[in-house]
Structure 1
Amino acid sequence: MSVVEMTTFTVAEENTRAMLAARPAMVEAFRADRRGFLSARLVRVAENTWLDFVEWSDDAAWDESKAKGANLPAIGTFFATIDTLVGAERGVRYDDAQETPAVERRVRTVAYGPEPSQVGELYLPEGQGPFPVVVVVHGGYWTAMWDRRQITDVVDDFLGRGYAVWNIEYRRIGEPGGGWPGTFLDIAAAVDAVDGMDPALDPSRVVIVGHSAGGHLTTWAAHRGALPAEAPGANPKVTPLGIVSLAGALDLKTGDATGFGTVLADPDAEPPKDAPEAARPEAWPLVAAQVGDGIVTLLVGAHYAENPERYSWTSPLELANPGVPVLAVHGTADEAVPADWSHRYAEKTNAAGGSARYVEVEGATHFDVVQPTHPVWPTVTAWVDETFTKNQ
């Protein structure tokens, strides 16, 4: 079994030639010095963004290589040309013929825009398609501290059910372009990118699933068709058949009034139970310095009292009926996002003539509802299955 390391990084335009010139010597240094190094392939995914596929014989070989760092001049010269390391993660595992996996993962990273965070992983199941598509949107207070890697268990589960999965990244608070209006523009662009991304996808059969801040963005995306032309994300190219909000932050107006997210001002604060580690802890001080009396202001660019119109464009509870079915799941033991926000959204949507099902999970925490091993998960997958079945 071999392991593929996927590293995304940016290189300033003036350093691109030097990076490419240093590449062959770096690869040879890896070949001579790194146990288990098999091959490397560099792919340009945007103007200044690169994706490096490095194949190792086993997990331990990758770990040993990371521990060595830039221990040789040729490796250090290459690394010195890199502007920003976006992230490194384990990608596809290629199994030997005698170890046939239950689900073969066909995955590639796709850029839907020129910025480093305007990317996602497209996973295709076995077969030719066209496949229904589950778009997955991660959370993390809309900030750059957390990324799409925290939700790969959900990706694997939907992939195993025969769906194509588009696990998206987007610009977040704490990085250039994040917040208003970039975060909303990116979610809109990422969803619309399903149309034309791959012939194996059926853009007429899309369900969006999001957790926490991603639950907010998922639900907002369902309302895009009702937005005025001047609002970010208006005039959608792809309209979902339905959306699933898992512990979604669906009431920005109340979030602004109550200082939602001020916990981020203290890097030493106790995180919610089972919270993943920050993928980019270096972004925390920048966010902490800006968060002030709440994170919602950084997302929307204003307090509600200063610009209520923006909240009418971005807060699901203000928008109400999205015109597509909604499943809102929330745990009663959620310490990060009040369950009442999901409950009131569902009530308001139904009162407005929409179709929203609210599932309250007794004793579930903020992260329980996004675990495929949790007892509530079959409710989520059954709802998604039914939504696709009704729209074959």
Structure 2
Amino acid sequence: MSVIEMTTFTVAPENTQAMLDARPGMVAAFRADRRGFRSARLVRVDEHTWLDFVEWTDDAAWDESKAKGANLPAIAAFFGTIGGLVGAERGVRYDDAEDGPRRVRTIAYGPEPSQVGELYLPEGTGPFPVVTLVHGGYWTALWDRRQLTGVADDLVARGYAVWNVEYRRIGEPGGGWPGTFLDVAAAVDALDGMDPALDTSRVVLLGHSAGGHLAAWAAHRGVLPPAAPGAGPKVTPVGLVTLAGALDLEAADAAGFGAVLADPAAEPPKDAPEPTRPELWGPIAGTAGAGVVPLLLGGHDPERRGWASPFELADAGVPVLAVHGTADEAVPADWSRRYAEKAGEGRYVEVDGGTHFDVVRPAHPVWPAVAEWIGLRTGRAGAR
């Protein structure tokens, strides 16, 4: 058995990044200085509140650590970011089996609740090629990255590391322009130095629907002017996969793309997941009547649209696979076809009778072609 220390504390939002930055140093100092320290796991409860699970081998180790307090600079730096203590409890762990390899873990790339992702690692030691996933949902906070967990599981089984990212979206603070774009850029760049098991010279970006747009934009960041959000990427992908991508912002704006969200009672696309944050329906419905592109870009500024549109950036030397179903109820297949034609190394796969969500189902007949293309781009052709 071992002792679990459960401490709940508050951190002011303006101190969150400093706390996260100080965390690795604090944990390293505990490992070096505190007898009996086994692990520490941080849980975000809400915007201000955090829960720290710290495991010790025995009561004496826990008592000794409390007596030492902030005896080292790295520990003091972490404690200095905390606003106040909510409560502290002690418990005893009974399931004393050692933890196995951590094949999935949540990693923050910024201080906001949506600036996180799940990193999946396959069996083995790596370094592994990486597929970064960007989910859709009309760029809104109604849906989240859980839409793509099935895709993540399939790719991990094929030997890829997978980085399934979240980002600030319409309906939450910081979503839209430029926060959504800055977050996707930061999430991709966070791969640099994230884990030695990752081969960041073999990164493929894959996005679905609105996430297809964001993945395409992120793939072409290298041609953005210095003033544009997301310019100067640290990670350059070897390929891009867009699945039912909302790729033509000009056409989407003209068509009022996403105006359907103004009617929460509207029939959703076949197999669409339930909203993960249904409480946002009302606020988003009240602003989406003219479509969501103006909400994403903060208006109709042509410079912003030029910086944000994959159509303006498409001929940027990144190989592209664009997959779209002919029966897609949400996004016109023509947007993917025209984008693939414009891309320098573009391939378009049309799925006869395919719906909006068919293209993200690993059980669908089109998926092996997607996996094969990713394998060719990363040197894992034929892997399963």
Normalised by the size of structure 1, how large is the TM-score? 0.74
Show the counterpart of 2:190. Answer: 193
Structure 1 match to 2:274: 277
Count of aligned pairs: 309
CA shift, 1:321, in A, is 1.1
- Post-superposition shift, 1:270? 0.6
SS at match of 2:286: helix
Note if 1:108 corresponds to 2:102. no
Select which of 331, 338, 350 maps to 2:332. Answer: 338
Distance 1:49 1:347, change over 3 A: farther
The one-letter code of the counterpart of 2:361 is: Q
Deviation at 1:322, TM superposition (A): 2.6
Q: Is the Cα–Cα contact under 8 Å of residues 49 and 115 in structure 1 kept in the other structure?
A: no
2:91 alignment counterpart:
none
Task: Work out which of the residue numbers 241, 254, 259 in structure 2 matches 1:257.
Answer: 254
Larger Rg: 2
Counterpart-to-counterpart distance in 1, 2:380 and 2:275: 39
Q: Where in structure 1 are there 5+ consecutive unaligned residues?
A: 1-8, 17-39, 54-80, 83-93, 97-103
Q: Tell me the CA shift for residue 141 of structure 1.
A: 0.5
Whole-angstrom CA distance in 2 between matches of 1:237 and 1:13: 30
Q: What does the per-residue CA deviation read over 1:94-114, in whole Å, with 9 as the maximum and x for residues that have no partner? A: 9x9xxxxxxx87111100000
Are 1:214 and 2:204 counterparts? no
Deviation at 1:47, TM superposition (A): 8.7
Match of 2:283 in 1: 286
CA offset digits 1:213-242 (Å, max 9, x no partner)? 110000001110000000000000001000
CA distance 1:49–1:318, shift in 2 (3 Å): farther
Q: 1:174-204, CA deviations, whole angstroms, 9 ceiling, x for partnerless residues?
A: 0000000000000000000000111111111
Residue 168 (structure 1) aligned to one of 143, 165, 169: 165
2:304 aligned partner? 310
Letter in 2 for 1:360: E
Asked if the contact 2:47–2:113 (Cα under 8 Å) also holds between the matched residues in 1, the reply is: no
Structure 1 pair 343–112 and aligned structure 2 pair: CA distance change class (3 A):
same
Amino acid at match of 1:137: V
Counterpart Cα distance in 2 of 1:47 and 1:140: 23
| Shift in alpha-carbon separation, 1:43–1:188, aligned structure 2, 3 A | same
Q: For residues 299-343 of structure 1, give each alpha carbon's deviation from its aligned partner in whole angstroms, at most 9, with x where no partner exists.
A: 11112xxx1111111111122213110000000000100000001
Match of 2:373 in 1: 383
2:61 is aligned to: none
Structure 1 pair 327–52 and aligned structure 2 pair: CA distance change class (3 A): farther
Q: CA deviation at 1:10?
A: 10
Match of 1:355 in 2: 345
**Which contiguous aligned blocks of 4+ residues in structure 1 show a shift greater than 4 angstroms?**
9-12, 44-53
Equivalent-residue separation in structure 1 for 2:102 and 2:190 (angstroms): 21
Sequence identity percentage: 70
For the residues of structure 2 that align with 1:145 and 1:224, how far apart are their CA atoms?
Answer: 26
Q: Which whole-Å CA distance do the structure 2 matches of 1:129 and 1:338 have between them?
A: 39
Q: Counterparts of 1:227 and 1:179 in 2: how far apart (Å)?
A: 18
Distance 1:153 1:273 in 2: 17
The answer to whether the 8 A contact 1:184-1:217 is kept is yes
CA gap of 1:291–1:241, structure 2 versus 1, over 3 A, is same
- Aligned residue for 2:159, secondary structure, equals coil
Gaps of 5+ in 2: 1-7, 16-38, 54-85, 88-94
1:238 and 2:232 are equivalent in the alignment:
no
Matched with 2:323 is 329
Q: Give the SS at the match of 2:287.
A: helix
Q: Go from structure 1 to structure 2 and tell me whether the alpha carbon gap of 1:203 and 1:12 turns closer, same or farther (over 3 Å shift).
A: same
1:13 matched to 2:7? The reply is no
Cα shift readout 1:2-27 (whole Å, capped 9, x = no counterpart)? xxxxxxx996639x9xxxxxxxxxxx
| Gap change, CA 1:52 and 1:280, over 3 Å in 2 | farther
Q: Does the 8 A contact of 1:49 with 1:116 survive in 2?
A: no
1:195 and 1:255, CA in 2 relative to 1: closer, same or farther beyond 3 A? Answer: same
